[in-house]
């Protein structure tokens, strides 16, 4: 039996680029969780997708270069025209470096409004997320302590 490793896994150890890549059409997922991937956490390129609850924690030990490359927790490819998601939650704890993601979720404009009740949580650490989806909606991290923000999809924000 291998010894139990009680140390922290560091960037690059046991890593993979994405937790889920969906290329098929009409895929529905209930209760999706993806954490600590090296690039976008989820990449969705299939039409007619649906997600009912998604929980994602961004990697702890990345540098600002990770955010500068535009990685997000949930990406729907630009060519997709039909996709819905309810309750997408993105958490940050950038433990080692000051990292600011521009947005947690990236979708085509036509899909943006069908992402219902996304939310962000700043758990601890440095930096945070500047916006919820496509550069709009509240961010987290400015307070420097635990913070939770919901983006109410009642279209009080400008739907583009």
- Which is it for strands 119-122 and 147-150: parallel, antiparallel or unpaired? antiparallel
CA dihedral 28, 156, 138, 31 (to 10 degrees): -20
Q: Which residue bears the tokens 């540098």?
A: 63
Token duo for residue 55: 């929980």
Q: Is 57 noted as a catalytic residue in this protein? A: yes
C-alpha to C-alpha distance for 47 and 79, rounded to whole angstroms: 9
Query: Cβ distance 86 to 116 under 8 Å?
Result: yes
Alpha helices, DSSP H, located in the chain: 64-68, 109-112
Q: From the candidates 13, 57, 78, 142, give the one annotated as an active-site residue.
A: 57
Cβ neighbours around 135 below 10 Å, total: 11
CA distance 57 to 80: 24
> Which residue numbers are catalytic?
57
């Amino acid at each position: 039996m291998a010894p139990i490793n009680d140390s922290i896994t560091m960037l690059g150890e046991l890593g993979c680029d994405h937790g889920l890549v969906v290329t098929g059409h009409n895929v529905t997922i209930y209760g999706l969780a993806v954490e600590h991937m090296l690039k976008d956490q989820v990449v969705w390129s299939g039409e007619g997708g649906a997600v009912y609850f998604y929980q994602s924690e961004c990697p702890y030990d990345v540098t600002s270069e990770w955010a500068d490359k535009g990685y997000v927790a949930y990406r729907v490819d630009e060519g997709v025209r039909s996709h819905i998601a309810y309750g997408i939650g993105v958490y940050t704890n950038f433990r080692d470096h000051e990292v600011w993601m521009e947005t947690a979720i990236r979708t085509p404009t036509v899909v943006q409004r069908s992402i219902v009740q996304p939310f962000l949580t700043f758990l601890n650490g440095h930096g945070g997320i500047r916006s919820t989806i496509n550069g709009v909606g509240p961010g987290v991290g400015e307070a420097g302590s635990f913070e939770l923000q919901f983006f109410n999809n009642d279209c009080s924000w400008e739907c583009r």
